[in-house]
Amino acid sequence: MAVVSSTLLAAAAWTVHAAAEDQQASAQPDAPVKAQPPVAPATGAQAQLIEQGRYLATAADCVACHTATGGKPYAGGVGIASPIGTIYSPNITPDKATGIGGYSFDEFDRAVRRGIAKDGSTLYPAMPYVSYAKMKPSDVKALYAYFMHDVEPVEQPSKATDIPWPLSMRWPLRFWRMAFAPNAVKEGAPPATGATLARGRYLVEGAAHCGTCHTPRGLGLQEKALTDHDRVFLSGGVVDGYVAKNLRGDRKDGLGEWTPQQIVAFLKSGRNAHAAAFGGMAEVVQRSTQNMSDADLEAIAAYLKTLSPADPDESALAADATATEKLRAGTDRSNGALTFVDNCAACHRTSGSGYESTFPTLALSSVVNSDDPTSLIHIVLKGGQMPWTKAAPTHYGMPGFATRLTDRDIADVLTFVRSSWGNRAPAVSADEVAKVRKAVRAAPQPVRPENS
């Protein structure tokens, strides 16, 4: 029973944009890549179906997990860290020997929406099949057409997992799937009313699988909710050392103060008056959402704005100029304030307002006001870059301060930021910073007389 429990917990813990399945590798991990010529272009209805599949693959950001840096598209090989080892995303090109070229449509559909591989084994739940179960069969057919007829087949064996036995056993995953995966939806009729909201819900819950990152996990590391029938849905999660923010209507740390237009702007450009994309979200914007249609982005925004606050009793933030006045007068001599002036004020300003679309605002920011400071600590330690986008081709970034600031410095400056300009968030401790520093493998803190 201990083995079953450990396997189930570890399997669901992996990075949520992970691979669908690490195929049973029968070749060495470093086998050479052999490209094959693409099939002849389709015409007519088939071409339209393929184009629909291409768009859905973009909305689902399939390339993120199945394309290694410098590798062929969808040929796999992306390493995904887990508590018990590393798995590698599989080759999902239509190569028949090493990819999915031998999959029938029914087998493809069963893998995508039910989490069952061609050989009958259960896929690792890092593959978001619990979300893809919401996708209509017609959309899965379009995905199948795209992958089988437009993606270049690449002969590249999938790498074997780096997980020791007995934790590498798959059979316990079947019970995880039975407990937490919903039934795949049927085609159904288009909604008679509210088509925009229905489309937004369909994308958020299905292909875009937003809940995979933005919904907290339960004891079995399953998403606590898969639909908006529960207020925990999209109320925030932790992924790869970042907090995937609350997408509900909370005014303090959610989207309550964001307009639909600002949500669309963020998804198209990776920035708006409230925030800038960083970490995994920057990659989602760059490779996925900026390439979605305006109509779909507007539908997503409209749907997100219908979500009630996770905490309906939370009051809104109100601007407060006290910190600005003290910084400009030089009367706040605390370590947090002095560290901010020396390292942060040039870009984020003494008012905490930053420069719109260039350096993010810190004042009244929903990211700054999250109860969990993990994202802020991570960014200060390792820095970050905004995504390259067509809507905002300028590329700004923030340097990391891991070798410049001690854990105490970072804790103090973040506590200062989270309590200034009207922000209202818990203080940050040096122990929290040390924990994140270790988790994200940031450089050791600088040695100073008081730390030696």
Please give the Cα distance from 162 to 388 (Å, whole number). Answer: 33
**Six-digit token pair at 64?**
């993120």
Residue 176 to residues 116, 123, 305, 422: CA-CA distances in angstroms? 12, 10, 32, 44
Annotated ligand binding at 209? The verdict is: no
Question: If DSSP codes are grouped into helix, strand and coil, which group holds residue 384?
Answer: strand
Stated length of the chain: 452
Question: If DSSP codes are grouped into helix, strand and coil, which group holds residue 250?
Answer: coil
Task: List the one residue out of 210, 383, 389 whose CA is nearest residue 303.
Answer: 210
Annotated ligand binding at 149? The verdict is: no
Task: List the one residue out of 348, 346, 326, 353 whose CA is nearest residue 337.
Answer: 326
Question: If DSSP codes are grouped into helix, strand and coil, which group holds residue 50?
Answer: helix
Annotated ligand binding at 378? The verdict is: no
Please give the Cα distance from 379 to 442 (Å, whole number). Answer: 11
Q: Residue 79 pairs with which residues in a beta bridge?
A: 88
Residue 214 to residues 181, 208, 241, 301: CA-CA distances in angstroms? 17, 12, 13, 15
Strands (E), 109-235: 154-155
Identify whether the C-beta of residue 152 lies closer than 8 Å to the C-beta of residue 47. no
Identify whether the C-beta of residue 22 lies closer than 8 Å to the C-beta of residue 86. no
Place of tokens 């947090």: 336
Please give the Cα distance from 247 to 350 (Å, whole number). Answer: 28
Identify whether the C-beta of residue 72 lies closer than 8 Å to the C-beta of residue 35. yes
Q: Residue 80 pairs with which residues in a beta bridge?
A: 87
- At position 241, the amino acid (one-letter code) is G
Task: List the one residue out of 32, 118, 116, 39 whose CA is nearest residue 75.
Answer: 32
Q: Residue 154 pairs with which residues in a beta bridge?
A: 35
Annotated ligand binding at 274? The verdict is: no
Sequence ranges of the binding site for heme c: 62, 65-66, 210, 213-214, 344, 347-348
Sequence ranges of the binding site: 62, 65-66, 210, 213-214, 344, 347-348
